[in-house]
Structure 1
Amino acid sequence: MLKRIVFISSLVLASTTSFSQTRVTAGVMQGKEYGVTYTLPKTKIQLTLETNRNQYIPGEFAKYASSYLHLEGVQLEPSISWSIDKVRISSIGVPDADKVFFVRMRDKTVAPLLELTQDGIIKTINVPFGKDHSVAATPLEPSKKMPNPRDFFTEEILMANSTAKMAELVAKEIYSIRESRNSLLRGEAENTPQDGKQLKLMLDNLEEQEAALTSLFRGQTITTSQEFAVAIEPTKEFTDSIICRFSSRLGVVESDNLAGDPISVSLKDLHSVNIPADDGKKKVDGIAYNIPGKASVIVKYKDQIITQGELPITQFGGVEFLAPTLFNKKSKIQAIFDPITGGLIKVDQEDL
């Protein structure tokens, strides 16, 4: 995520104290006021579906699969099908328009460093820029592509004058490859290598040739992984709310597309945070941060639970404030916030 660093050269002096301290107000200030605006996040629940698109391509000799290789049930027509591989649920943070705060600046005050996300969500205070503790994703290894079966055609196969004859000769070549592999495994081949690595290499090559030639009868399925993400913003508890649908023919479709079976989400507030009733008298005093609540999330497909867990939900929590005196000119307080929940992770006087 891109980051935006904002240096506050000075913070406002509190008129009722003898030292410099932070003053924060709600909303974006205009006119003669100078300072920095930051926001706290609200939670969206993101459902991520890792799916596979399976494209079946019939083999060139598919109609001879039963006659020459005794392969039954081989499809003769191309088809496309979808399947769900993995399902994940997570919380994501987006700026909350109802939680915007303004830090005023004046001369002769401490100059803390505020780090904001690209969306303006507060991330750190007084933490030196450049400390990135994120973990790099491990790149996926590309799947090995099957070689072209025609690369293994003999001259006799290439000279065949009909498809049926060609299929017959390819089938004979497949049986010959199997015999060669069995001879190597039993140590009966004339040139059986004594070195284990060399033997494995020869067996792998024979297996590759057999798989490629057999695909001309059995056909092959090309699988492509695709990831879909659907996000919802909870404001209250709900049960079996349909957020999308899944079709074995079409993949992920909209929630109103009846071609797919529904994927539903249930959300239950765990009441992990005791929030007093808001009487409207609570004042903005210091740096605001969220105290996120927790919710139980259950995802179902075809009335079966496919994933579940507990997630932090800021809408089920409340807002508190770091005391203004923590950021007066005599302190070296550092604070780290979770940009996803807006929760306070750490407060320290030492370098983090």
Structure 2
Amino acid sequence: MSRKGIIAMSLLAATLCTTNAQNVDFYKPGEGEGIAYFLPKTAVEVNVIATRVRYTPGDFCQYANRYLKINNVTSEPSTEWEIKKIEVRRIGVPDSTKAYIIKLNDKSIMSNIEVTDNSIIKAINTSAPKSVNPEYILEKSQPSEDGRKYMTEEILSAGSTAKMAELTAKEIYNIRESKNLILRGQADTMPKDGASLKLIMDNLDKQEKALTDMFTGKEVTEDKLFTAVILPDKEVTNDVVLRFSKKLGILSSDNLAGEPIYIKVKSPTPIQTVAIPEEDSKKKKKKAPKGILYNIPGKANVSISFRGKTLFEDSNMLFAQFGSTELLVDDLFNKKVNTRVIFDTVTGGIQKIDKD
């Protein structure tokens, strides 16, 4: 059976027992004939963008204070992390307790059933719009150029690191003086126009930074995306979804090397549970309803907190499992009525319904 079905009535005729067969029955894998579909449960996907900062000390770090009067320059490499952004979205996963099979009959005009790759129902007699997943922009800084590229012959031929540092510092001061002369209009050769001025100043800035990094060291920042998914079958009160360490970054919830990032999911109404009719003692199934089953989702408040501070909160998120299951009656799908339905694959609710 195709996961995304556009099923012609003629291809289904062999599966029909009678012209009055029920539209929907409860589905067990490997049993029954027709088009199987699931209603979804709503899962919470937590996406954390964390920034990693890698520091590499410069070759002349021990001379930064002596020649450039820059304090607190360390000679030890390091890596540190910080939380940049947290976003939360919902995704739909098949609900194994809400599995159904559609048995079309010759009085039904449900000739187009569309489901997702994991068999969650999307649409009947129409096509659902394509879903667009969010794209996260992960930034990465570019390290400055190697300062040795701008060292003079005198610097490179110096007999010691200390002497190289001294001469490099003098070169940095010469660059700064050249920039000041240009800005004051006192340089021997002035740029002809604004574009030339910008080009020269940008080049001098680049040289100054590359040489200064030989003293202060370099930092390279890079964003990383971390994702965790939870499926709340009941209200969640301060469960650990991920952990964070300034030295190690984002960690799994069971890694005690990091501090906990908490998630809370709270519904203003109790969760409605729909029981599936069981087979009776004579192994006969209880009569299934005629029509298409769908969800009416309920609202919940979702919040993410870290170190006592709320980093994300939304009080109007819809969840399938915080609502109820209802029925679209079979009369909506006959030769007299052409009904088109689009379902929300995250909650199982109806997004749009119209008919001729």
TM category, shorter: 0.7 to 0.9
Paired residue type of 1:68: Y
Partner deviation per Cα, 1:226-269 (whole Å, 9 max, x = no partner): 11111111122232222222111111223333321111112210
Aligned position for 1:149 = 147
Paired residue type of 2:305: K
Q: Which whole-Å CA distance do the structure 2 matches of 1:141 and 1:82 have between them?
A: 14
Partner deviation per Cα, 1:129-186 (whole Å, 9 max, x = no partner): 8x53648848767644422222111111121121111111111111111111122222
Of 172, 175, 186 in structure 2, the residue corresponding to residue 174 of structure 1 is 172
- Pair 1:325-2:331 in alignment: yes
Of 334, 338, 342 in structure 1, the residue corresponding to residue 340 of structure 2 is 334
Aligned position for 1:307 = 312
Question: 1:269, 1:295 within 8 Å by CA — same for their partners in 2?
Answer: yes
Q: Which whole-Å CA distance do the structure 1 matches of 2:30 and 2:231 have between them?
A: 30
Q: 1:277 to 1:101 in 2, by over 3 A?
A: closer
Paired residue type of 1:58: P
Aligned position for 2:27 = 27
Question: 2:26, 2:99 within 8 Å by CA — same for their partners in 1?
Answer: yes
> Which consecutive unaligned segments of at least 5 residues does structure 1 have?
none
Question: 1:22, 1:325 within 8 Å by CA — same for their partners in 2?
Answer: no
Q: Which whole-Å CA distance do the structure 2 matches of 1:206 and 1:44 have between them?
A: 53
Question: 1:13, 1:109 within 8 Å by CA — same for their partners in 2?
Answer: no
Q: Which whole-Å CA distance do the structure 1 matches of 2:257 and 2:110 have between them?
A: 59
Q: Which whole-Å CA distance do the structure 1 matches of 2:308 and 2:96 have between them?
A: 36
Q: 1:22 to 1:169 in 2, by over 3 A?
A: farther
- Pair 1:284-2:282 in alignment: no
| Alpha-carbon offset, residue 270 of structure 1 | 2.5
| 2:175 match: secondary structure | helix
Question: 1:268, 1:296 within 8 Å by CA — same for their partners in 2?
Answer: yes
Q: How high is the sequence identity, in percent, across the aligned residues?
A: 41
| 2:335 match: secondary structure | coil
Question: 2:141, 2:221 within 8 Å by CA — same for their partners in 1?
Answer: no
Count of equivalent residues: 341
Of 182, 187, 205 in structure 2, the residue corresponding to residue 207 of structure 1 is 205
Q: Which whole-Å CA distance do the structure 1 matches of 2:47 and 2:6 have between them?
A: 37
- Pair 1:159-2:166 in alignment: no
Partner deviation per Cα, 1:18-40 (whole Å, 9 max, x = no partner): xxx97011213756x43110111
Deviates more, 1:236-245 or 1:94-103: 236-245
Superposition map of 1:161-240 within 5 A: 161-240=159-238
| 1:332 match: secondary structure | strand
Aligned position for 2:46 = 47
Question: 2:141, 2:220 within 8 Å by CA — same for their partners in 1?
Answer: no
Q: Which whole-Å CA distance do the structure 1 matches of 2:295 and 2:239 have between them?
A: 27
| TM-score, with structure 1 as normaliser | 0.87
| Alpha-carbon offset, residue 92 of structure 1 | 1.4
Paired residue type of 1:295: A
- Pair 1:347-2:333 in alignment: no
Question: 2:299, 2:322 within 8 Å by CA — same for their partners in 1?
Answer: yes
Q: Which whole-Å CA distance do the structure 2 matches of 1:258 and 1:137 have between them?
A: 30
What RMSD in Å do the two structures reach over aligned CA positions?
A: 2.9
Paired residue type of 2:337: S
| TM-score, with structure 2 as normaliser | 0.86
Paired residue type of 1:346: K
Q: 1:233 to 1:128 in 2, by over 3 A?
A: closer
